[in-house]
Chain A
Amino acid sequence: EAQVTQNPRYLITVTGKKLTVTCSQNMNHEYMSWYRQDPGLGLRQIYYSMNVEVTDKGDVPEGYKVSRKEKRNFPLILESPSPNQTSLYFCASSTTGIESYEQYFGPGTRLTVT
């Protein structure tokens, strides 16, 4: 089954404690992206990757890091989480072909930073 998986689904942590949210896709997609969803703000892009070792900032990259060492994986790293990073996070992937721009989303990771 084609899917994007994220782990963990729920995470409660404390300010300053480094954490990683994993994302993996099994569709051989070149493009992967991280979004955060906040009430009244919709989805905002954090980082994206056009392919292995190619990453770039989205609209709200501050406080986040990513890496793309393998095509299927795109982890999101919070080196020193703060309460304003409490949010619902989604990973997404897609091809980069001109006829296929719909993105496939993971189930989400609800992060609470206290």
Chain B
Amino acid sequence: AQSVAQPEDQVNVAEGNPLTVKCTYSVSGNPYLFWYVQYPNRGLQFLLKYITGDNLVKGSYGFEAEFNKSQTSFHLKKPSALVSDSALYFCAVRAYQAGTALIFGKGTTLSVSS
């Protein structure tokens, strides 16, 4: 069965420091991986995706993620955090063979302090 794990409920970083939000996945076959962000009282916004190709994927708002097949991970990163990055982040996976359903992790709250 497909699954996604976000091992940290909350990540706290200081503004200007690098941030990492972790995600590991389990899926049969090649994974399609996604990161979404949810700001308070808003819907989810797409940040970036990995389908194939370069393991380092760049997305919106300066975020990037690194696909690591051997560790089945897809961690979200940003070199320098902003207070405005504070939000709830979801990792999601889809297996090619399984239709277009996305399986979401439970979410990680990112808090960036000034």
B106's contact among A41, A45, A50, A105, by CB below 8 Å, is which? A41
Asked whether B74 is an interface residue with its Cβ less than 8 Å from the other chain, the reply is: no
Which residue of chain B is the closest to A30 with respect to CB atoms? B100
Is the beta-carbon distance between A105 and B43 smaller than 8 angstroms? yes
**What is the CA–CA distance of A88 and B98 in the complex, to the nearest angstrom?**
25
Closest Cβ of chain A to B32, distance in Å, is 5
Which segment, of A13-21, A60-68, A70-78, A95-103, faces chain B? A95-103
Nearest to B36 among chain A residues (CB) is A105
**B44, B99, B107: most-surrounded residue (chain A CB, <10 A):** B44
Whether the Cβ atoms of B100 and A50 lie closer than 8 Å is yes
Assess the A90–B43 pair: CB atoms within 8 A: yes
> What is the number of residues of chain B that contact chain A, defined by CB distance less than 8 Å?
21
Interface string of A1-20 (1 = CB under 8 A from B): 00010000000000000000
- Partner among B32, B36, B43, B105 whose Cβ is within 8 Å of the Cβ of A101: B32
Question: Do the beta carbons of B43 and A45 come within 8 Å of each other?
Answer: no
User: Which residues on B are within 8 Å of A, measured CB to CB?
Assistant: 32, 34, 36, 41-46, 49, 51, 90, 94, 99-102, 104-107
For the side of the interface on A, what is the size category?
20 to 34
Can you report 11 residue pairs joining A to B where beta carbons are below 8 Å apart?
Answer: A42-B90, A42-B106, A44-B104, A45-B102, A50-B99, A50-B100, A92-B44, A94-B100, A96-B100, A101-B51, A108-B43
| Minimal Cβ-Cβ distance residue in B for A41 | B106
- CB neighbours (8 Å) of A44 from chain B are 104
Chain B residue numbers with a CB within 8 Å of A33 are: 101-102
Contact B51 A99 (CB under 8 A): yes
A50 smallest CB distance to B (angstroms): 7
Would B49 and A101 count as touching, CB distance under 8 A? yes
Q: Say whether, besides A33-B101, A48-B101, A50-B100, A102 and B106 are in contact (CB < 8 Å).
A: no
Chain B residues whose CB sits within 8 angstroms of the CB of A31 once the complex forms: 100
| B34 close to A101 (CB less than 8 A) | yes
Contact B106–A40 (Cβ < 8 Å):
yes
Cβ contact within 8 Å between B102 and A103: yes
